[in-house]
Amino acid sequence: MAAAAEIEKTCTSICERSRTLKCANVAECQPNCVAMAVGTPCSDEFMRFYACLVREPVEHWECSEDGIAAIKDGFCENEQKAAIQCMEAKAR
């Protein structure tokens, strides 16, 4: 399982996109990001997804409807799909 400090650092980097894009709910990004990777049996999959997100430039991001930066379609899709499939499998 990924260390909490590593997750915090990665989420800080990801959430910087919300600040750069001036999304409406920047403050919600960090706790949501950390919770998705920490409180799950799929933390390895989420860390692979997050590692992909960190590599993407801000031009590949947009503010989502919930006011937090989200990766645009076409980027990190395989990693995102793996994390979602893991969650769906564990939810059964």
What proportion of the chain, given as a percentage, has pLDDT over 70? 98
Contact criterion met (CB below 8 Å) for 62 and 69: yes
> Which amino acid type is present at position 66?
D
Average pLDDT, integer, range 49-78: 96
Q: What is the pLDDT of residue 39?
A: 75
User: What residue spans define the domains of the chain?
Assistant: 4-91
Per-residue confidence (pLDDT) for residue 2, from 0 to 100: 54
Model pLDDT for residues 53-67, shown as the tens digit of each residue: 999 999 999 999 999
Q: Are 29 and 69 in contact (CB under 8 A)?
A: yes
Provide the pLDDT for residue 3.
80
pLDDT, residue 90, reads 86
